[in-house]
Structure 1
Amino acid sequence: MADQEQKGIELVAEAEKKLKSSQGFFSSLFGSSNKVEDACDLYHRAANAFKIAKKWTAAGGAYCEAAELHLKSGSRHDAATAYVDAGNCYKKTDPQEAISCLMKAVELYTDMGRFTIAAKHLVSTAEIYETSDIEKAISCYAQAADYYRGEESNSSANKCLLSVAKYSAQLEQFEKAIEIYEQIAASSLESSLLKYSAKDYFFRAGLCHLCVDLLNAQYAVARYEEMNPSFTDSRECKLLKALMEKLEEQDVDGFTDAVKEYDSISRLDQWYTTILLRIKKSIQDAPDLR
């Protein structure tokens, strides 16, 4: 490992030396492109050596140097690839630097009209933001969805939109989440392969409605049943109806029991738990009018 780190350091020094000599008088007369290409190759080799040594920050730095040289020589595709490699290294040590490199790659791919690969790296950026800035994660997922949709990659676009809805609901932007869940549920019903998943999206939309307004939730669930008659017999629909009943009655214990019964058969993940606790709190906080 130490040998590889030392090798990386020496390759970086050699690359810097090549670049310095490329700026001399004779190089300006006879051309310095070969020396720049050589320096670029040395930075890539240095990055690989640093990766073997698990020196991720040094590897990321070497890839960034290579990316800048690729840009100067007009090779935008190679520059974008190097920025992605840099971003993947920085993910392990410096998330903000990783985001910076990935977004440089996204910008280059977008300029080249490579929207599908730009979307892929926007998703990678969003995943990093998930732990630090949910608003920015939502923004990256939404942009990725737009790019995928423009390239007719609808399943990838929907996957990104579901992430937008999921995090929007966590930020209590329920109307935005409802719109996405209902839209994807409706499009799922048009596909024989996807229509079974519609009930999950209706379920999520219904829970988001319950966070906002009981009456609108009741109207929404009735509409979902009209759109998809099989939804009526689903456990998801039955739970929504039970929760609406307990909300009307301001029955906290009944609400908890209904959730427990559902969870005993179909485990509820963290997202569902967070939303359900918020709905339950609205019962506890409501004035007792009985």
Structure 2
Amino acid sequence: MADNEQKAMQLMAEAEKKLSSSKSFLGSLFGGSSKVEEAVDCYLRAANLFKMAKKWAQAGQAFCHVAQLHLKAGTQHDAATNFVDASTCYKKCDPNEAVSCLLKAIEIYTNMGRFTVAAKHHQNIAELYETELADAARAMQHYEQAADYFRGEESISAANKCLLKLAQYAATAEHYDKAIQIYEQIAKSSLDNSLLKYSAKEYMFRAALCHLCVDILNAQHAVERYCGMYPAFADTRECKLVKELIEHLEEQNVDGFTEAVKTYDSISRLDQWYTTMLVRIKKQINDNPELC
């Protein structure tokens, strides 16, 4: 490992020398461009040696040097590729720097009109904010941008995947209208696809819970609409649970509410998102004694 790091550092120094000589007057007359190409090769070799030595920050830095040289040479695609390579290295040691490199790559890809690739990298940034940097607001921002680019390129499945993450975070942040809009939109589009039709019940269920976090009457009307759109929804356990919850909220019946959720959970396990929403809904019974 130490040997690889040493060789990498030597190659970095060699690359700097080649760049310095390419900038001199004689260098510009005699093979300046070839010196830059040689420097690029040295940086790339150094980056891979740093990777072998698990020196991720140094590897990322070396890839960034290569990317900047490609930008100056006008080779946009190669520059973007090396910024992505740099980001992959920085992910292991510096998530903020990983984001920065991906944003540089995205700028290049959007200028080239490669929006699907740009969308994938916005999604990667969102996941970094989600898992490494614990910044839900920025994760939402990049999921939304990714979805927008995916939709523009007719990658509907990929767009919906990002939108569902956006809705999940929007609801958690109490932006219920935004979450409801997304869940209803995806539910409707799912009904038009025979392969996805069954999944519509989940999105309707999620939307109904978001409605319940805000207003019982709107939730009742929403459930009626969903049953009209998708008659089979009326017979699902999800629809029946929502109707039970509405009834228990109106009756201020905490025990009934708790039992209904427990019964559902014993058959279909509720994840953290569902639990969070249901706790908020249940809290209304205590916080709003005149709810009914």
TM-score, normalising length: structure 1 = 0.98
2:12/2:43 contact within 8 Å kept: yes
Report the Cα distance in structure 2 between the residues aligned to 1:195 and 1:229, rounded to whole angstroms: 12
Instruction: Indicate whether 1:194 and 2:196 are aligned.
Output: yes
* Deviation at residue 269 of structure 1 after TM alignment: 0.7
TM-score by length of 2: 0.97
User: Which letter maps to 2:174?
Assistant: E
With over 3 angstroms needed to count, the CA separation of the structure-2 counterparts of 1:59 and 1:289, relative to structure 1, is closer
**Alignment deviations for residues 146-183 of structure 1 (CA, whole Å, 9 cap, x no partner):** 11111111100111111110110011000000000000
In the aligned structure 2, how far is the partner of 1:259 from the partner of 1:193? 29
1: CA distance, partners of 2:252 / 2:45: 67
Aligned residue number for residue 174 of structure 1: 176
| Unpaired segments ≥5 residues, structure 2 | none
- Bigger drift between 115-124 and 127-136 goes to 127-136
Cα distance in 1, alignment partners of residues 201 and 289 from structure 2: 33
Cα 1:110–1:151 change in 2 (3 A) is: same
Contact 2:119 2:149 survives alignment (8 Å): yes
Query: 1:56 corresponds to which residue?
Result: 56
1:31 deviates by 4.3
Please, which of 220, 223, 240 is the counterpart of residue 221 of structure 1? 223
Q: Secondary structure at the match of 1:152?
A: coil
Q: Which runs of 4+ in 1 moved over 4 A?
A: none
Pairwise CA distance, 1:17: 1.1
Q: Which residue of 1 aligns with 2:206?
A: 204
Distance in structure 2 (CA, Å) of the matches to 1:45 and 1:253: 66
Letter in 2 for 1:77: H
**Counterpart residue type for residue 284 of structure 1:** N
Q: Which residue type is aligned with residue 60 of structure 2?
A: G
Aligned partner of 1:13 in structure 2 is 13
Q: What is the Cα-based RMSD across aligned positions, in Å?
A: 1.1
Query: What is the alpha-carbon distance in structure 2 between the residues aligned to residue 289 and residue 152 of structure 1?
Result: 45
8 A contact 2:250–2:291 mirrored in 1? no
Letter of the structure 2 residue corresponding to residue 7 of structure 1: K
Q: Matched residues in 2 for 1:213 and 1:45: separation? A: 61
Asked if 1:47 is matched to 2:47, the reply is yes
Amino acid across the alignment from 1:56: W
What do the CA deviations read for 1:69-91 (whole angstroms, capped 9, x no partner)? 11011111001001011111111
Alignment of 1:80-229 (within 5 A): 80-130=80-130, 131-229=133-231
Identity of aligned residues (%): 67
Q: CA deviation at 1:37?
A: 1.2
* Partner of residue 232 from structure 2, selected from 227, 230, 233: 230
Which secondary structure does the structure 2 equivalent of 1:250 belong to?
coil
**Counterpart residue identity of residue 40, structure 2:** C
Aligned match of 1:250: 252
What is the distance in 1 between the residues matched to 2:39 and 2:291? 77
**How much does 1:199 deviate?**
0.1
Distance, in Å, in 2 between the alignment partners of 1:216 and 1:264 is 28
Amino acid at match of 2:67: A
Report the equivalent of 1:272.
274
Stretches of structure 1 that go unaligned for 5 or more consecutive residues are: none
SS at 2:159 equivalent = helix
CA–CA separation in structure 2 for the residues paired with 1:150 and 1:289: 44
Amino acid at match of 1:6: Q
Instruction: Look up the match of 2:36.
Output: 36
- Residue 20 of structure 1: how far off its partner (Å): 0.9
**1:132 Cα deviation from its structure 2 partner:** 2.4
- Displacement of 1:288 in angstroms is 5.0
